[in-house]
Homo-oligomer: A and B are copies of this chain.
Amino acid sequence: MHKGVTGIFSSGLDMLSLRQKPSNEIYKFWSLYQETWVRLYASSLITVAAINGSATAPGCALATACDSRVMAEGDHVIGHDETRTGWLVPNWVKFGMVNLIGFKETERSFQKGTIFSPEDAQKIGLVDMVVPKDDLMTSVRIRLKESASMEDDLRISTKNMMRRETTENLNLRKQEDVTNMTVYSLLEHVQESIVDTNAQYLGWKPVPWPSG
């Protein structure tokens, strides 16, 4: 995974697409996010996140769903800052974080909307490696090759064995989790905050979420 915009790995979903929409469209939006996350988490492919810029909210979520994470040194951040911009972190995202940094740190970081520097992210286990920007793709390629040297059947079965229970659990509770996000999105004060939020937030331009 590698996004082209310099300095930003992925900063989020296009929240504007949730503004004044009927509930079934909002449901579809969160449903697509849930499916994308679970599919990436359970993917039989080798997935190494090449984090070449800030990876916040869904950007961080997609990174935690990968097999491992390499982040470029520099003045960018990673973490779930949804609450700082008035948004609820979806339940599926929790599992990726808890696996990497444990329950307590996950809860605390979600409540505060904490974002981490590459170095701090490595210290708490949120990323596996931090490298100079110019070495990012080389480091990622080395990791990919390492994983690819293992017999495919074995690598996939091992990944599946480790991740099966979480995947099953998320599939079982999909409707509940997506409904919770939909209900939250439809709250009046949340609807009203949508425009402001994106505009005011550090001047970051949200990367458009693929339309269903």
Which residues in A have some Cβ–Cβ distance to B below 8 Å? Answer: 67-68, 83, 86-91, 94, 98-100, 102-104, 106-108, 110-111, 125, 147, 150-151, 153-155, 157-159, 161-162, 164, 180, 184, 187, 189-190
Contact (Cβ within 8 A) A154 B83? yes
What's the minimum C-beta distance from A80 to chain B, rounded to whole angstroms? 10
Could you pull out 19 A-B pairs where Cβ atoms are within 8 angstroms?
A: A68-B108, A83-B150, A83-B155, A86-B151, A87-B154, A88-B161, A89-B161, A90-B161, A91-B161, A99-B104, A104-B125, A107-B162, A110-B158, A111-B147, A111-B150, A111-B159, A151-B189, A157-B180, A157-B184
A99 adjacent to B94 (CB under 8 Å) = no
> Which residue from chain B places its CB closest to the CB of A67 in the assembled complex?
B111
Taking CB atoms, residues of chain B closer than 8 Å to A110 are 158, 161-162
A125 contacts across to B, CB distance below 8 A: 104
A147 CA to B87 CA in the complex, in Å? Answer: 15
CB-defined contacts of A147 to chain B, threshold 8 Å = 111
Q: Which residues of B contact A100 (CB under 8 A)?
A: 103-104
Question: A154 and B103: CB pair below 8 A?
Answer: no
A99: B residues at CB distance < 8 A? 103-104, 107
Q: How far is the CA of A71 from the CA of B160 in the complex (A)?
A: 31
**Are A153 and B187 in contact (CB-based, < 8 A)?**
yes
Q: Nearest chain-B residue to A113 (Cβ)?
A: B150
Task: Decide: A158 and B111 in contact? CB cutoff 8 A.
Answer: yes
Q: Give the residues in chain B near A104, CB-CB below 8 Å.
A: 99-100, 125
Known contacts A184-B157, A189-B153: does B83 contact A162 (CB below 8 Å)?
A: no
- On whether the beta carbons of A106 and B150 are closer than 8 Å, the reply is no
Asked if B151 and A94 make an inter-chain contact with CB atoms under 8 angstroms apart, the answer reads: no
